[in-house]
Structure 1
């Protein structure tokens, strides 16, 4: 009796990443994504919840800022985390200023950055041997 082996090779993902140490858009570049900017302008709490969910955080996390003090902690925390994750240069002081004085612009910038840096997995080839 002869035994036969079946060897299956799984295709390996190829990732193309765009590395940059700057935000992909400025804090006031609303024209880069007008529909999202309008959404953030007219219903910032809903937009913040959507952006938080898209970033992998709990959907209603930004609603905790309603209880907050002077500085919106969730907005600032996500900005700082996003800068760290993507290697974007900046300071916590800038994050604090943007989160406090222009929260809708800050949420829009983070949303645009997530879209810009989304890394898609492309399967190049698959062979059975």
Structure 2
């Protein structure tokens, strides 16, 4: 008689149901968080490093944006945050926002990370 052992699979639940698959704020809602907006305006390199760190990425990665026409790290972090939270969108749109609205993009990413900082509850599900 063979007994099969199954590990319980975690079920992730969050209380942020109102956001679903959309950004919690628009790209131009920078003034919704005035301290972050001022920080980004007065010292964008420091702000981008802070946001990158808050997103769990290397602190200095945004500094690589200075070496290209298309800001690769801004685009990559926006894609990463969008995928992490299940936000709809395309890499093309992320790239356009990163190129045309860089500081606003970083502010939006920062607001999204702050809005989604909810405790996650793990519930064991029986197989």
Task: Say yes or no: TM over 0.5.
Answer: yes
Alignment match, 2:124: none
- The alignment's C-alpha RMSD in Å is 1.6
1:18 to 16, 19, 42: 16
Q: CA deviation at 1:120?
A: 2.1
TM-score (norm 1): 0.78
Q: Deviations over 1:60-119 (max 9, x none)?
A: 1111112x2210000000101111110001111110111011111000000000000112
CA contact (8 A) 1:48 1:62 kept: yes
Cα distance in 2 for residues equivalent to 1:109 and 1:117? 12
Cα distance in 1 for residues equivalent to 2:82 and 2:120? 22
Alignment match, 2:76: 77
1:89-100 to 2 correspondences below 5 Å: 89-100=88-99
Q: Secondary structure at the match of 2:34?
A: helix
Cα distance in 1 for residues equivalent to 2:82 and 2:98? 14
1:34-49 to 2 correspondences below 5 Å: 34-49=34-49
1:1-129 to 2 correspondences below 5 Å: 16-19=14-17, 20-66=20-66, 68-120=67-119
Which aligned segments of 4 or more residues in structure 1 are displaced greater than 3 angstroms? none
Q: CA deviation at 1:121?
A: 5.5
Q: Secondary structure at the match of 2:74?
A: helix
Runs (5+) with no aligned partner, structure 1: 1-13, 123-129
TM-score (norm 2): 0.79
Question: What is the number of residues matched between the two proteins?
Answer: 108
Cα distance in 1 for residues equivalent to 2:33 and 2:71? 23
CA contact (8 A) 1:55 1:114 kept: yes
